[in-house]
Chain A
Amino acid sequence: MRHHRVLRVVSKFLIPFIMLFGLYVQFHGDFGPGGGFQAGVIFAAAIILYAIVFGLDHAIKVAPPRIVTKFVAIGLILYILVGVASMLLGGEFLNYSVLGSTQQGGQHLGIFLVELGVGITVAATITTIFYYFAGYRGLGDEGKE
């Protein structure tokens, strides 16, 4: 889609806002609708949009698959570590109350970290699945040569 000038300009303008909205959904999930899962999908959608409009090879330079695939595991590990940390601090697995000085503070911190873990895993997984589907034979201009 290299010659679609309107598409390129509009998506270049929109992608930062999509990413910002993803971060908003991630960190505002305690107060409004949203959370790690939705935020991860929105964040991945920004990368996918970039890959569709500017070509897969450019997207791979921005978010290298080698790093993205690591984050698939990092998110899940972060989630489990929060549970282990609450065990080490004397609570049950995933009982966040012991993470902070107050019960509510601990719950806030726990939910924040757990949602972050979910968001990282979801964003990385969706980007990875897209990469592997698109890179299988090429979805952008490169594959159609």
Chain B
Amino acid sequence: MIIQFVINITLLAFMGAVAIAILKVRNLFAVTMLSGIYSFLAATVFVLLDAVDVAFTEAAVGAGVSTVLMLATLSLIGENREKVSTHTPILPLIVVTITGVALLYGVADMPAFADPEAPANKHVIPRYLEDSKEEIGVPNVVTSILASYRGYDTLGETGVIFTAGVAVMSLLGGTFWRRRRPREEEPSEGGEG
């Protein structure tokens, strides 16, 4: 128990340090790498919360793919320095402070972590946990909820991913083919692959 507490505090301190570093650093390449580190720390926190599936996704998407996409974007815009803002930070500071205070006020009303009496754990979760073995027969209850009980939601999420792909294709597509087509015809025997 005490060990987990120490690990949690250490991770939180690391995440805070990385967040401040992201704010301070002006080099966008460094910021991209720092946000990857932040994602890995978040994934570690999810492991501590016993949410391995979420940790998995966070490490793969947050730290892996989005870092690569950020780097690709950086190479597209060809700019490595963040522009210094000319606005005064007073209004954003007020907004952020009010939002933060409201969120902290809300946290006080939240049930304790993993409280079995919490409303979220009393609704349909007990039924899923008790009947999943009988009805679905899949050892991982997360999979049985995601793919079977909540099949509609997962279908919608797959649709969202599909839409994201189509959106990127329609936004960047024309340039991609115009540049690539003539290249494919010329014989490129560069590296040995």
Contacts and interface: CB of A to CB of B under 8 A. Distances in A.
A44 interface: yes
Given A34-B56, A60-B180, A121-B162, A133 B151 contact: no
Interface string B126-164: 000000000111111011101110011011011101101
Given A58-B191, A107-B148, A133 B76 contact: yes
A135 B176 contact: yes
Contacts, number: 163
Contacts of B164: 125, 129
B65 A76 contact: no
A2 B190 contact: yes
A132 interface: yes
B60 interface: yes
A107 B69 contact: no
Interface residues of A, number: 63
Contact of A107 (B76, B137, B180, B193): B137
Contact of A133 (B56, B64, B69, B161): B69
A15 B56 CA distance: 19
Interface residues of B, number: 54
Given A35-B146, A58-B193, A83 B151 contact: yes
Contacts of B55: 33
B161 A34 contact: no
Contacts of B169: 69, 128, 132
B179 interface: yes
Contacts of A57: 183, 188, 190
B72 A121 contact: no
Interface in B88-111: none
B131 to A, nearest CB: 11
Nearest to A124: B165
Interface in A16-55: 25, 29-35, 37-38, 41-42, 44-45, 48, 52, 54-55
13 contacts: A29-B140, A38-B60, A41-B64, A48-B65, A57-B183, A94-B152, A111-B147, A124-B165, A132-B168, A133-B76, A137-B75, A137-B76, A138-B179
